[in-house]
């Protein structure tokens, strides 16, 4: 592996001061960062270990649940507060990576994992995200994995986190800290569209640290589930996925979040599907016609046009399974 | 740990023994085990977290050592394939792998066995379906999967 220095800062201000120096990067579980170093996509001069600064605790807070940014994926998926109140989050996590990686990877690092776009991880090819201004090899190349929402000729890379899609359905907020203080960013606003600067993926400022993720109580009042479609049964990123968080009152949907993964340059909500189910009972007819609207506005490229019908089918299946679940335990 | 962050002095507790060693900031736990401590039972397949050949237990939990920095394992407990059974004896999972012919070339086997030991401890070996799902982080290019599942099922029953 390419050489870099390793530091374990004592507090946030030391971490921040180091992180803003050229070539410095934070490391948590290391599961994405070290892959990128091995493939020479990223060459840090120094890594700053945030494990002591990003706590792993998962606890109730203001009626909701606060997940420390250092929580491991497996620990979150197994935690009763997550499993019972936000099943969509636990299911998305259990369907992520492998048991070994889930024991290492953290909540904070997961949201910042880089795209699986083939060209981003192949240093022999042009890629605007890896090398700004070099061009996008995927636009007219092998773009089977790439996005159908939120792209432009600059970049059509999918943001691959399953967790982020589930968090979007739960109206989660990301807590960011710097020596100047703390701020909260809704999951929906955390990732940026790759329009002008695809190399800048989030609204985080240099040196800022993710310290926690907050899930509100109102999302715990809804029922939720996650459906992931992939090229093999396990241990694979999503081709498409669907996170549902729905409140039923008197047999009809009173509030709905339908978020999808594998298709957007950031976690994507479906603005036309949600109103098509609100106020309705989840009958087969309502489900089918709502799901038909899932891919409205999609802009597929040559090899990923299959994601349009696949997304419709994914949303339909997720809604059907949700309706069956409701029928069994109303 | 010296200030420059490049040449680090760390201490690992490996298979019950305390080992001090010098590593680079960028040395992985896998390279430290194989190249510095000469524990070559832990294998390097992909070096990208994708195959599981390098699986070890870190503070009792299975991890891929290729994506773990040695510096991040400083002061922690590491169990490798060399440490799961006393010298000259087989762990029940090792015995089951032999009995069920759960390998061909054997390259993935140390990682498979470490993962299986962890999976049984996690209480995840209750059905073949569950074994398959929770062994999915370990690939076998020889395709010995059917016999691996049989070996894990058998070892879990014997260890219950
Ligand atoms: C084989 C394999 C399969 C996978 N499959 C899936 C999958 O199916 N679905 C899925 O969603 N993911 C998958 N992943 C991705 C995995 O979930 C991420 O690599 C992991 O969550 C990243 O977390 P980490 O703690 O290891 O981050 P690191 O690799 O340590 O860091 C990632 C990035 O985040 C930054 N960072 C980390 N923590 C903080 C913080 N607190 N504040 C600010 N910056 C921070 C780092 O600087 C770095 O840029 C897979 C990974 C592997 C290796
Ligand atoms: S889609 Fe984005 S990540 Fe992929 S090659 Fe184009 S610019 Fe790079
Ligand atoms: S060598 Fe570590 S997972 Fe393949
Ligand atoms: S036995 Fe050859 S790779 Fe598994």
- The mean pLDDT value for A171-196 works out to 97
Instruction: Summarize pLDDT for A75-102 with one digit per residue, the tens.
Output: 999 999 999 999 999 999 999 999 999 9
Alpha carbon separation from B151 to A54, B103, B132 (Å, rounded): 40, 10, 12
Residue to mutate (ligand 1; options A31, A178, A182; most atoms within 8 A of CB): A31
Q: B3 pLDDT band (50/70/90 cuts)?
A: low
User: Smallest Cα–Cα separation from A95: which of A189, A227, A291?
Assistant: A227
Is the shortest distance between the CB of A198 and ligand 2 below 6 Å?
A: yes
Domain assignment of residue A296, yes or no: yes
Domain assignment of residue A234, yes or no: yes
- CATH number of the domain at A283, please: 3.30.390.50
Interface residue B128 vs chain A (CB under 8 A): no
Q: In this predicted complex, what is the ipTM? A: 0.97
* Ligand with the closest atom to the CA of B112: 4
- The mean pLDDT value for B133-140 works out to 98
- The mean pLDDT value for A1-5 works out to 90
Residue nearest atom 23 in ligand 1 by C-alpha distance: A109
Interface residue B60 vs chain A (CB under 8 A): no
- The mean pLDDT value for A149-159 works out to 98
List of chain B residues whose C-beta atoms are within 8 Å of the C-beta of residue A100: 49, 52, 55, 62-64, 115, 137
Q: A2 pLDDT band (50/70/90 cuts)?
A: confident
At B129, phi and psi to the nearest 5? -60, -45
Instruction: Summarize pLDDT for A259-278 with one digit per residue, the tens.
Output: 999 999 999 999 999 999 99
Q: A330 pLDDT band (50/70/90 cuts)?
A: low
On whether the B92-159 domain is CATH 3.30.420.10, my answer is no
- Cβ B67–A31 below 8 Å, yes or no? yes
Domain assignment of residue A86, yes or no: no
Nearest residue of chain A to residue B74 (CA atoms): A8
pLDDT score of A112 more than 70: yes
Domain assignment of residue A258, yes or no: yes
List of chain A residues whose C-beta atoms are within 8 Å of the C-beta of residue B55: 100
Domain tally, chain A: 2
Q: For residue B64, give the nearest of A49, A51, A100 by CB distance.
A: A100
Edge-to-edge order in the sheet of strand A64-68? A58-61, A64-68, A209-215, A173-178, A181-186
What is the spatial distance between Cα A56 and Cα A67, in angstroms, rounded to a whole number?
A: 7
pLDDT score of B2 more than 60: no
Per the prediction, chain A carries an average pLDDT of 97
3.10.20.30, 3.40.50.720, 1.10.10.10, 1.10.40.60: which CATH number matches B8-83? 3.10.20.30
Dist. CA A301 → ligand 2 center (Å): 13
- The mean pLDDT value for A118-126 works out to 97
Q: What angle do CA A185, A186, A191 make, to 5 degrees?
A: 80
Is the shortest distance between the CB of B114 and ligand 3 below 6 Å?
A: no
Give start-end residues of each CATH 3.10.20.30 domain in chain B: 8-83
List of chain A residues whose C-beta atoms are within 8 Å of the C-beta of residue B66: 34
Q: Residue A230 is part of which domain span?
A: 221-324
Question: Which neighbouring-strand residues pair with A94?
Answer: none
Give start-end residues of each CATH 1.10.150.120 domain in chain B: 92-159
Instruction: Summarize pLDDT for B73-120 with one digit per residue, the tens.
Output: 999 999 999 999 999 999 999 999 999 999 999 999 999 999 999 999
Domain assignment of residue A238, yes or no: yes
Instruction: Please identify which residue in the block is written with the tokens 């048991």.
Output: A99
Domain assignment of residue A160, yes or no: no
What is the spatial distance between Cα A31 and Cα A12, in angstroms, rounded to a whole number?
A: 22
Ranges of H-type helices in chain A: 12-19, 33-38, 73-78, 80-85, 87-94, 99-104, 107-111, 162-169, 187-190, 217-220, 273-277, 284-291, 307-328
Residue A327 or A46, more confident:
A46
Instruction: Summarize pLDDT for B9-53 with one digit per residue, the tens.
Output: 999 999 999 999 999 999 999 999 999 999 999 999 999 999 999
pLDDT score of A328 more than 70: yes
pLDDT of amino acid A224: 96
Assess contact for B87 and B17: CB atoms under 8 A. no
Torsion of CA A293, A255, A61, A73, to 10 degrees: -30
pLDDT of amino acid A211: 98
Residue nearest atom 6 in ligand 2 by C-alpha distance: A136
Torsion of CA A175, A177, A181, A183, to 10 degrees: -30
C-beta contacts of B121-127 below 8 A and 24+ residues apart: B121/B60, B122/A99, B125/B152, B125/B153, B125/B156
Q: For residue B26, give the nearest of A4, A39, A100 by CB distance.
A: A4
Looking at chain A, the whole-number percentage of residues with pLDDT higher than 70 is 99
């Amino acid at each position: 592996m390419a050489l870099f220095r390793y530091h374990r800062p004592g507090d946030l201000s030391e971490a921040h001061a180091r992180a803003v120096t050229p070539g410095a990067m934070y490391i948590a579980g290391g599961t994405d960062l070290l892959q990128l170093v091995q493939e020479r996509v990223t060459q840090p001069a120094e890594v700053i270990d945030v494990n002591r600064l990003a706590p792993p605790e998962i606890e109730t807070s203001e009626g909701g649940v606060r997940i420390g940014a250092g929580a491991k994926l497996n620990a979150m998926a197994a935690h009763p507060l997550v499993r019972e109140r936000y099943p969509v989050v636990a299911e998305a996590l259990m369907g992520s990576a492998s048991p070994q990686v889930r024991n290492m990877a953290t909540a904070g690092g997961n949201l910042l994992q880089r795209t699986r776009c083939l060209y981003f991880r192949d240093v022999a090819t042009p890629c605007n995200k890896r090398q700004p201004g070099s061009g996008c090899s995927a636009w007219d190349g092998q773009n089977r994995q790439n996005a159908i929402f939120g792209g432009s000729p600059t970049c059509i890379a999918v943001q691959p986190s399953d967790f982020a899609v589930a968090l979007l359905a739960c109206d989660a907020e990301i807590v960011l800290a710097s020596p100047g203080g703390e701020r909260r960013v809704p999951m929906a606003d955390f990732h940026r569209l790759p329009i002008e600067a695809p190399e800048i993926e989030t609204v985080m400022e240099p040196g800022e640290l993710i310290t926690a993720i907050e899930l509100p109580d109102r999302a715990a009042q809804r029922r939720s589930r996650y459906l992931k479609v992939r090229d093999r049964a396990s241990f694979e990123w999503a081709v498409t996925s669907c996170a549902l968080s729905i409140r039923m009152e008197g047999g009809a949907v009173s509030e709905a979040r339908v978020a999808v993964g594998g298709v957007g340059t950031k976690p994507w909500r479906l603005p036309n599907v949600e109103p098509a189910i609100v106020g309705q009972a989840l009958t087969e007819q309502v489900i089918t016609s709502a799901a038909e609207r899932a891919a409205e506005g999609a802009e597929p490229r040559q090899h990923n046009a299959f994601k349009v019908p696949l997304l419709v089918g994914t949303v339909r299946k997720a809604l059907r399974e949700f309706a069956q679940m409701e029928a069994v335990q109303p | 740990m010296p200030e420059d962050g490049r040449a680090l002095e760390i201490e690992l507790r490996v298979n019950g023994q305390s080992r001090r060693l010098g590593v680079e900031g960028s040395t992985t736990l896998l390279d430290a085990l194989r190249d510095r401590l000469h524990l070559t039972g832990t294998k390097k397949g992909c070096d990208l977290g994708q195959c599981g050949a390098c699986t070890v237990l870190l503070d009792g939990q299975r991890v891929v050592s290729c994506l773990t920095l040695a510096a991040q394992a400083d002061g922690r407990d590491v169990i490798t394939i060399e440490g799961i059974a006393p010298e000259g004896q087989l762990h029940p999972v090792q015995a089951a792998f032999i009995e069920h012919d759960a390998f061909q070339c054997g390259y993935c086997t140390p990682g498979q066995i470490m993962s299986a030991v962890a999976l049984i401890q996690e209480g995840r070996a209750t059905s073949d379906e569950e074994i398959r799902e929770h062994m999915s982080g370990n690939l076998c290019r020889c395709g010995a999967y059917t016999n691996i599942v049989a070996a894990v099922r058998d070892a879990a029953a014997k260890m219950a």
